[in-house]
Amino acid sequence: MSASDLSSHTVLVTGATSGIGFETARQLAERGATVLVHGRTAEESRAAVDALVATAGIDAVRLCAYAADFARLEEVEAMAARVVAEHPHLDVLVNNAAIAAPERHTVTTDGNELAFQVNFLAHYLLTNLLEQALTSEPGGRVINVSSSLHRTGSIQWSDPNRARRYSRLAAYAQSQLALTVFAADPRVAAVSVHPGICATDLLPLYAHEGASPAEGAARIVRLCDPATEIVNGAYYDRDQRVEPAPGATDDRTVKRLNKLADVLVRHTV
C-alpha cells in the first residue's frame, strides 16, 4: 500500500519529545501532516519542535508545541481546551506518552498511582475532552500505543492504585491493559498497538536490546493513515492484527473501566 499524503491531516502525538513519539511526529510531518507535538513541559516540546525542524528539515508551520504534565490532570484539561480552541477538527490522536512505573509506590497530587495516571487516566481524560474535535466530519481516530505486556496485567478494580500490594511491573501492565480496553470504547474509533520492543527509555522493562524507535513509529503511522481501514477496539502486534488479552474488548469490562476512570479523574463526560 502506498503511503497517503497527509497534508490535510492534523495529528496530536502525546509524549512526542523522545523515542517512538518523536519519530512518529517526524514521520507524520514528513508526509505533510500538521503535528501537535506534546511534551511534559513547554521547554521539552519546544526543543522537540526545534529538533524536528533542524534535523528533519520539516517546515515549522507544520508543527505546534503543546505541554502538559500528565501527572497533573488540571494540565491535561488546560491542554485539551487549547487544542479544541486552535484545532476544532482533529484527525488523529496518538496516545503514546508513557512511563515505567517507579520502583516505589507513588501517588500523584490527583490521588492516583503514578503509572496508571500518566499511561492511562490522562489519556482517558484527554480523549474524552477531545471527543468533539475527533468526531467532527470526517471522523477521526485514536491510536493507543499499548504493549504486549498488557497480557500479563489485571485491573485491580477495588484497588486500582495498588496501595495494598505494589509491584512496578504489575502497575505498568495494568496501565497498558486499561489502555487496550479503552480502545474498545464506542465513542471514538480507536485501536491499540504494540509497536514492538524498541530501544527507548522503556526498554529495560522488556529486554536488553530492541528495534529502532523509527521502526516502532512506522507501525503507528500506518494506523494513522486513512488508507488503513481500522475496526474499533482492534489490537495490533506490530503490523499484525491479533486478539488482545481475553476480555479486553468485552462490553462489560469497557463500561466498568469507564466508570472507574470517570471517578478517578473526577470528570463526568
Active site residue ranges: 172
> Sign (positive/negative) of CA torsion 190, 196, 201, 203?
positive
H/E stretch holding 38 reads strand 34-39
Residue among 41, 37, 84, 38 nearest 58 (CA): 37
Q: Of the candidates 101, 81, 109, which has an alpha carbon nearest to the alpha carbon of residue 153?
A: 101
DSSP per-residue letters across 135-147: HSSSP-EEEEE--
- Measured at the CA of 63, the angle between CA 59 and CA 67, to 5 degrees, comes to 155
For the residues of 26-37, what is the DSSP string, one character each?
HHHHHTT-EEEE
| Residue 113 DSSP symbol | B
Specify whether the CB–CB gap between 151 and 124 falls below 8 A: no
User: Per DSSP, which regions of 42-198 are E strands?
Assistant: 63-67, 92-95, 141-145, 190-194
Tell me the C-alpha to C-alpha distance, in Å, between residue 221 and each of 93, 102, 204, 243: 11, 29, 24, 21
**Omega before 186 within 30 of 0, i.e. cis:** no
Residues 6+ apart with CB under 8 A from 43: none
